[in-house]
Amino acid sequence: MKKNIRILLLFPVVFLMACSTTTWIVESQEEVDRGDYKLLNSKLFLQKVGTITPELPVAQFRLKAANTFEYAQRVKTDRYIQKYRPRLGYVALGAAAAGLGGYTALEFSDPNKQGQQIALLGASTALMGISFLNMKPIGEPQPTGETRLLRKTGVFVDTDTLDATVNTQQLVSFTIRYADQILVEKSDVVITKSNLSINFLEELNPDIFPGQEDIAVDLDITFDDSLYSYKIPIKSIFDPFVVVNTTVTALRNQARLSSTNILTDLAQGSQLKLVEAQQDWVKVLYGISENWVSSSDVDIIWRPSQFSRELSVVAIPNVPFGSVDVERDIPGLSEDDRSKWGFIIANQGYSGSLPEKAYAHRDGQLIEKYLNDALGIVPTQTIKFQDISGSQTARNGFNRLVSRVNNREIDLVVYLNGYAEVDPKTDKVYFLGTSTDSAAARIDLNSILDGFANLPVRKLTIVADLDFITSSSRKNTLELLAATVTTQVQNSTVVFSSNTDQRSYIYAEPNGVQKRHSIFTYFFADAIKKRNTGWGNIKNYLDRNVSFTSRSIFNAAQDIRFFGSDSLSLID
């Protein structure tokens, strides 16, 4: 009996200890069984890899295989372990009931009731055990990592992309187009070791592309009945550079027109790396520093990145006025004469579509120096304007001369330097101001010359260094213009630097002599320096030297046009 009681008391000790169970839980009804599959299809294709840059202008492609498989879908179950602990309230209640039953059973001393005693002890034991079955879980179920895939529930189709390994030769065709024009067309190009490379430096000529940053070429590749199309920006293939397209242009440290920010002058053909374009200005790399040139003085070109190691830059040192031979040792050929006047307009600072007119200010300074030092015109009676914007500014300048002359008889020398154009409809000649408003910038030369001719002049000299940006089909355009003066003033001379179908060039030889003046103005001053004051001698000197120099340097004609009396003198 005591043994039975000990067994009964052992149950609380056992069941008060925590226990655990394992459970299989369904996680998915459509789990893909990667081990149960069949290959439905396999297709080769090209995948673009890497980035195209001017340092590596190569389009690279990798041969890939797209394999389509059918996988079985199954029920997925995962095994978890859950720990439990008896609920103490139920255990205490069961223990009390079991103890009461056991005590009652022990009270049976009648041997005839031993069966009832055993039954009562069994019931007490069962009641105690049942109280331990009502247990509570401890924490969350913990996965064991065991997984089972059960019955098949369906199929799943998936495509895997892998590096292709092929035993047969693979061929492609490709074309490169620009603006609907086929530049390159190749077929039967072999894919080598699963790689295709298209080197744009070998395929493209950069000279065919305009200097615009937003242009691109189209690359079309045909492989295995598939077409691959890509738009490749030109700036990812080539680097932009600039080439000076004028005889000379100023390199500046700021993006504005000023005589104080010029670092040096660059000769025609000089090449520099483009950094940034901003409307009228272009930032370029000169050495290791970033500087500015006028956008109208350069053309943007595309070149391979390594072209920067082969740049040709012809820098013309920015020497001060007085350094050129014609600027010094000017002879005094006449005494100061208060009846002589000078009027100068020198337009250099053009913007917009017109390039800066190189050395126009220096030309004006040179002529002013010769008027004052050689020809006897006092500085206070030399009226000079730079960069007049248009017709209204020119009119104001003329009115200033009129008010200062004040109806006195004078000898007048007029010098004009700047761009000019001929109206194709009216054949009228216009001197161009620096305004970006093309209509306001046009100064009617017929009108302004007529104004000079109507002043109280005894002798009138017009020297016009005009660079014509448009030409005239008529041969007598300048003759008709000069007649505005010569028919009204008997003692008058009008000379133009070139004909209307020619340009007025700068005296600058590539890698050679740099006179820093226009050819015409240089030789006009040089003629006076050589003491030629009569127009007959000056005309002959200009005829011989201007045309010869222009043809020698630029292989282009520049013939002066002279009208009026060649018997007049600049000092008499």
User: Is the domain of 228 the same as that of 247?
Assistant: no
> In 234-288, which ranges are E strands?
239-244, 248-252, 262-267, 271-278, 281-286
Q: Are 342 and 411 in contact (CB under 8 A)?
A: no
54-58, 139-143, 294-298, 367-371: segment of lowest average pLDDT: 139-143
State mean pLDDT over 121-144. 72
Cα separation, 230 vs 355, whole angstroms = 38
Higher pLDDT, 80 or 130: 80
In a domain, 117, yes or no: no
Three-state SS for 450-510 is HHHHCCCEEEEEEEEEEEECCCCCCCCHHHHHHHHHHCCCCCEEEEECCCCCCCCCEEECC
Whether this prediction's pTM lies above 0.85 is answered by: no
Tokens at residue 519, please?
């050819």
Largest Cα span, the chain: 173
pLDDT of residue 36: 87
Q: Are 321 and 365 in contact (CB under 8 A)?
A: yes
In a domain, 134, yes or no: no
Collect all residues with Cβ–Cβ distance below 8 Å to 439 and sequence separation of at least 6. Answer: none
Higher pLDDT, 81 or 415: 415
User: Dihedral sign, CA of 239, 244, 250, 256?
Assistant: negative
Collect all residues with Cβ–Cβ distance below 8 Å to 450 and sequence separation of at least 6. Answer: 484, 485, 488
Domain count, the chain: 3
Report the CATH number at residue 542.
Answer: 3.40.50.1460
Whether the predicted pLDDT of 420 surpasses 60: yes
Q: Are 52 and 236 in contact (CB under 8 A)?
A: yes
Confidence label for 110 from pLDDT (cuts 50, 70 and 90): low
User: Is the domain of 313 the same as that of 336?
Assistant: no
User: Is the domain of 339 the same as that of 426?
Assistant: yes
Cα separation, 351 vs 258, whole angstroms = 13
Higher pLDDT, 448 or 127: 448
User: Is the domain of 202 the same as that of 308?
Assistant: no
pLDDT of residue 380: 95
In a domain, 9, yes or no: no
The interaxial angle of helices 114-133 and 88-106, nearest 10 deg, is 180
Q: Which of 317, 349, 368 is the last residue of a domain?
A: 317
Report the CATH number at residue 299.
Answer: 2.30.30.40
**Cα 200-206-207 angle, rounded to 5 deg:** 155
Higher pLDDT, 342 or 17: 342
User: Is the domain of 350 the same as that of 421?
Assistant: yes
User: Dihedral sign, CA of 359, 362, 366, 372?
Assistant: positive
Confidence label for 140 from pLDDT (cuts 50, 70 and 90): confident
Q: Which of 263, 294, 317 is the last residue of a domain?
A: 317
In a domain, 89, yes or no: no
pLDDT of residue 475: 82
138-142, 416-420, 484-488, 514-518: segment of lowest average pLDDT: 138-142
Higher pLDDT, 468 or 316: 468
Task: Report H helices in 195-293.
Answer: 200-203
User: Is the domain of 358 the same as that of 453?
Assistant: yes
pLDDT of residue 1: 46
DSSP three-state, residue 311? coil
Confidence label for 502 from pLDDT (cuts 50, 70 and 90): very high
User: Is the domain of 160 the same as that of 192?
Assistant: yes
Cα separation, 512 vs 120, whole angstroms = 132
In a domain, 365, yes or no: yes
In a domain, 137, yes or no: no
**Cα separations (Å) of 406 from 95, 214, 410?**
138, 59, 10
User: Dihedral sign, CA of 10, 12, 13, 14?
Assistant: positive
User: Is the domain of 414 the same as that of 335?
Assistant: yes
How high does pLDDT run on average in the chain?
Answer: 88
Tokens at residue 209, please?
């592309």
**How many residues are given for the chain?**
572
Collect all residues with Cβ–Cβ distance below 8 Å to 566 and sequence separation of at least 6. Answer: 493, 534, 535, 536, 539
In a domain, 553, yes or no: yes
Candidates 208, 170, 185, 173; CA nearest to 63 is 170
User: Is the domain of 405 the same as that of 302?
Assistant: no
User: Is the domain of 469 the same as that of 374?
Assistant: yes
Residue with structure tokens 């598939």? Answer: 226
User: Is the domain of 347 the same as that of 472?
Assistant: yes
Residue with structure tokens 């018997």? Answer: 567
State mean pLDDT over 44-66. 93
State mean pLDDT over 255-278. 88
pLDDT one-digit tens code per residue, 166-196: 888 889 999 999 988 999 999 999 998 889 9
The interaxial angle of helices 519-529 and 360-373, nearest 10 deg, is 20
In a domain, 94, yes or no: no
Show the domain range for 453.
325-564
Three-state SS for 62-126 is EEEEEEEEEEEEEEEEEEEEEEEEECHHHHHHHHHHHHHHHHHHHCCCCHHHHHHHHHHHHHHHH
Candidates 304, 297, 105; CA nearest to 203 is 304
What burial class does residue 263 get, using C-beta atoms within 10 Å of its C-beta: 0-12 exposed, 13-18 middle, 19+ buried? middle
Whether the predicted pLDDT of 108 surpasses 70: no
User: Is the domain of 406 the same as that of 520?
Assistant: yes
The number of angstroms, rounded, from the C-alpha of 406 to the middle of its chain's C-alpha atoms is: 57
